[in-house]
Amino acid sequence: KTFPAWRVDSPQVTPTRRHNSRSTSLIQNGSINVVFCKGPSRLSTRSHTCGELCSRHIGEEVTLCGWVQYLRQDLFVILRDFSGLVQVLVPHDESKHELRNTFCGLSVESVLMVKGRVKRRPEGQENKNMPTGEIEVCAESVEVLNTCRTLPFEIKDFVKKSEAMRMQYRYLDLRSPQMQANLRLRSRLVMKMREYLCYQHGFVDVETPTLFKTNSWGIEFLVPSREAGKFYCLPQSPQQFKQLLMVAGLDRYFQLARCYRDEGSKPDRQPEFTQVDIEMSFVEQGGIRALVEGLLQYSWPEEKGFVTTPFPCVTYEQAMQDYGVDKPDTRFGMKLTDVTEIFQDTRIGWMRDAVTQSHGCVQAIRVPEGSKHLKGKDMESLKNTAQTQFTQPLPLTSCCLASLLQRPLLGKLRLQCAELLEGHGVRVRDPAVFHFLWVVDFPLFLPKEDAPGQLESAHHPFTAPVPQDVPLLYSEPHKVRGQHYDLVLNGCEVGGGSIRIHNSAQQRYILQNVLKEDVVLLTHLLEALECGAPPHGGIALGLDRLVSIIVGSPSIRDVIAFPKSFRGHDLMSNAPDFVVEEELKPYCISVVWPSVEGADRSPAPPPED
C-alpha cells in the first residue's frame, strides 16, 4: 500500500501532530510502509505524478491526483497533472459498478484522487504519441476531490481564445501545457542564474526597497504616504541602491528585481517587470561582459541548444552603419551597403540630389530572392513605410532599396523585407537560433528631443565616460562615448549596463554643467561617492523579454503568471478599481474627476468601468 511521502521525513510522528483521519489511521495501523517518492510527489497525497509513469512502473500500486482531461467511451479517463497525461482504465466488472458510476458522472476538469495498479496496455493499443502510452492505470478506487462547472474554454493549446478571455480566466489559461512549460522554464532559468552568481562568482543576493523617492517624473508610480503631500515612488530600477551597495563594500550584488514603469500605452510593456540586476566592484567592462556571457551559457535551457561565448561585439556606430539600428537582428544578413560612389555620376534625378548634398549618400539593401518574392503588394507596403517614415517617395529597384542618410528607416525596411519574405515562406530568421550581440561605444549624451541645444543622458547620468574621451567632457561633451554596453538577442535589447562614475567631482560636473540638472535630489548619491566609492559597474537583463525569446513567444505576457492587459488592467480581479472615499482620507488625497475639475470635494459617482 502507498502512503503519503511526508511520512519519510518524520517517522517519529506524535499523535498531536496529525489532524486528518488518514494519517491517524496510519498510526493506528501500527506498521507504516514508506514510499520514497521522487521530488514533486514527496510530502504529497499522491505517490506518483501522472506524466512519470512508464513500463518501469508496471505492477506497482499508485495513487494519482489530477484533472479529468477527457472521458472516452465510458472506458477510459485521461487524467492530467502538471507533468502530463495518463490513461486510467475504468473497471467494468459488476462488483465495481459504484466505482464505474463515479467515473461516468464526471465533468471535464474535475479533480480526482485515483488509486490503482499500473498495467501494460494490451498489444496494439499503445500510443506512441503519448509519453505514458505504453501503460495504463487500472482504477481500484477513486475520490472526487472537486467538481468543475462548465468552463468558458477548453484547456488545450490549440483551442483559440481571445486575449481578454485568457486574462480573465488566467487560472484556466495557465493549465495549458504551453503556459506550464513557460513558467517552469523561467523558474529553472532563474535558479541556474542564481547558482552561477552565488556559487561561481561570490555574488550576494540583496533586496532593495520598492518604496523609494521620486526621481524621474512622469513614468514612476506614486504611492501616497500618510503625511500630507508626501509620496513614495515605485522605482524604475534599483540603480541607486545597487551603486550604494558598492559604496557599502558589498562587492558583488545581484537581485531579481521588481521594477515599475508607468507607460501603459506602449505595446508589450508591463507596469511591473523583472530584471536580473547585477553590480560589481573593482571590475572593468570586459569583466561584466564575460560574467554575463558565462551567466547565459550556464543557465541556458539544455533543450534550447548551447550558447557560444564570447558574444560578438560591435560599436554603436558600426551597428547603425550596417543595420540602421542599435539592436540589430544578426540572424540574417541584408546589411545596409553604401553605394554612393557607384552612383556618383548618375543621371537619375533623386539620386543626383542625394549624392550632391553634403553628407548625402545612397544606401542599398540586397534582399536575397527579393525579386522572386517581393512583388506588387509587398513593394507597395515597403514604399508606404518609406513614405510615412521618411516623408519623401522612395524609389525601389527590383532587387535593391535605396535611400538617403536616415539609417533608422533603412533598419526598419530591412526588417520589413525579412517579414515579407517570411510571409512567402522563405526562412530568413530561424526562431530556434539565438544570436547574441554586444553593442558598445554609445554616445554618452544626446541632444534633447524638445531642446536640441541641450544634452541629456543617452542612458542614465551615472554612466562613466570612456577614459580616453574624458577631456572632451569639458570641451565637446556631445562627442564623449560612454562605457555603456547593450546586450542584443535576435534583434531585441535584452540587457544594458555600464561602468559607473565613481568620482564625485566628475559626477557632479556632469549633472550640473552638462545636464543642467538639480543635484539636490541626488545629494545622497554624491555624498556617497565622496566616502570612498570603489570603481564599479553592472548590468540589468530584462528577464521577461529574455524568457519570451527563449520560449519563442511573441509577447512577454506569455511568460508572466498574472500579466496586466495592454491598458494596465488585471482583467481577473478587476484592478485598478474604485476605492471608497473613506480610504483616501488617511493619505490626504482626493480624486480630481476630469469632468468636474475644480470642484472635487464631492466627487461625482464614478463612471461605468
**Subset of 49-68 contacting a copy of itself (CB under 8 A):** 65, 67
Dihedral over alpha carbons 117, 118, 122, 124 (to 10 degrees): 150
Least distance to a copy of itself from the beta carbon of 264, Å?
Answer: 7
* CA 463, 468, 472, 477 torsion-angle sign: negative
Angular region, 59: left φ>0, alpha ψ -120 to 50, beta rest:
left
Pair 216, 183: CB distance under 8 Å: no
Query: Which residue among 2, 102, 110, 337 contacts a copy of itself (CB under 8 A)?
Result: 110
> Which CB sits closer to a copy of itself, 16 or 356?
16
Using rule CB under 8 A, residue 484 touches a copy of itself? no
Least distance to a copy of itself from the beta carbon of 142, Å?
Answer: 14
- To which residue does cell 488545450 refer? 156
Pick out residues in 552-571 that bind a copy of itself (CB under 8 A): 560-562, 564, 568, 570
Q: Which three cell numbers stand for residue 332?
A: 540574417
Using rule CB under 8 A, residue 589 touches a copy of itself? yes
Using rule CB under 8 A, residue 227 touches a copy of itself? yes
> Which CB sits closer to a copy of itself, 157 or 380?
157
Pick out residues in 312-331 that bind a copy of itself (CB under 8 A): 313-315
Query: Which residue among 105, 164, 171, 342 contacts a copy of itself (CB under 8 A)?
Result: 171
> Which CB sits closer to a copy of itself, 284 or 338?
284
Using rule CB under 8 A, residue 40 touches a copy of itself? yes
Site string for a copy of itself, 395-434 (x = CB under 8 A): ----------------------------------------
| Segment interacting with a copy of itself (CB under 8 A) among 108-116, 346-354, 426-434, 454-462 | 108-116
> Which CB sits closer to a copy of itself, 248 or 339?
248
> Which CB sits closer to a copy of itself, 120 or 184?
184
Query: Which residue among 29, 55, 163, 287 contacts a copy of itself (CB under 8 A)?
Result: 287
Q: How many Å separate Cα 96 from the centre of its chain?
A: 50
Using rule CB under 8 A, residue 144 touches a copy of itself? no
Pick out residues in 590-609 that bind a copy of itself (CB under 8 A): 590-594, 598, 600-601, 603, 606-607
Longest CA–CA separation in the chain, Å: 101
Using rule CB under 8 A, residue 452 touches a copy of itself? no
* Whole-number Å distance between alpha carbons of 418 and 413: 9
| Segment interacting with a copy of itself (CB under 8 A) among 159-167, 276-284, 363-371, 376-384 | 276-284
Using rule CB under 8 A, residue 153 touches a copy of itself? no
Site string for a copy of itself, 510-549 (x = CB under 8 A): --------------x--xxxxxxxxx--------------
Pair 260, 270: CB distance under 8 Å: no
Query: Which residue among 29, 55, 141, 309 contacts a copy of itself (CB under 8 A)?
Result: 309
Using rule CB under 8 A, residue 573 touches a copy of itself? yes
Using rule CB under 8 A, residue 23 touches a copy of itself? yes
Using rule CB under 8 A, residue 230 touches a copy of itself? yes
Q: What is the 3-state secondary structure (H, E, C) of 33-92?
A: CCCCCCHHHCCCCCCCCHHHCCHHHCCCEEEEEEEEEEEECCCEEEEEECCEEEEEECCC
Q: Which of 382, 220, 196 is nearest to 290 (CA)?
A: 196
CA distances (Å), origin 489, targets 103, 149, 315, 548: 50, 44, 16, 11
Using the CB atoms, write b or e for 165-174: b if 16+ within 10 Å: ebbbbbebbb
Using rule CB under 8 A, residue 19 touches a copy of itself? yes
> Which CB sits closer to a copy of itself, 474 or 578?
578
| Segment interacting with a copy of itself (CB under 8 A) among 207-215, 341-349, 369-377, 548-556 | 207-215
Identify the three-state secondary structure at position 205. Answer: strand
* Whole-number Å distance between alpha carbons of 269 and 255: 21
- Provide φ and ψ at 184, rounded to 5°: -70, -40
Q: Which three cell numbers stand for residue 552?
A: 519563442
Using rule CB under 8 A, residue 250 touches a copy of itself? yes
Query: Which residue among 70, 221, 343, 350 contacts a copy of itself (CB under 8 A)?
Result: 221
Least distance to a copy of itself from the beta carbon of 260, Å?
Answer: 8
Least distance to a copy of itself from the beta carbon of 312, Å?
Answer: 8
Least distance to a copy of itself from the beta carbon of 438, Å?
Answer: 8
| Segment interacting with a copy of itself (CB under 8 A) among 252-260, 345-353, 392-400, 420-428 | 252-260
* Whole-number Å distance between alpha carbons of 321 and 326: 9
Least distance to a copy of itself from the beta carbon of 482, Å?
Answer: 11
| Segment interacting with a copy of itself (CB under 8 A) among 239-247, 369-377, 380-388, 399-407 | 239-247
CA distances (Å), origin 455, targets 110, 214, 459, 507: 62, 22, 12, 15
* Whole-number Å distance between alpha carbons of 464 and 510: 10
* DSSP H or E stretch at residue 168: helix 163-168
Residue type, position 365, single letter? I
Using rule CB under 8 A, residue 302 touches a copy of itself? no
Pair 393, 386: CB distance under 8 Å: yes
Q: Which three cell numbers stand for residue 309?
A: 561565448
Pair 461, 515: CB distance under 8 Å: yes
Least distance to a copy of itself from the beta carbon of 246, Å?
Answer: 9
* Whole-number Å distance between alpha carbons of 265 and 218: 13
- To which residue does cell 471608497 refer? 580
Using rule CB under 8 A, residue 132 touches a copy of itself? no
Pair 570, 170: CB distance under 8 Å: no
| Segment interacting with a copy of itself (CB under 8 A) among 93-101, 140-148, 157-165, 545-553 | 140-148
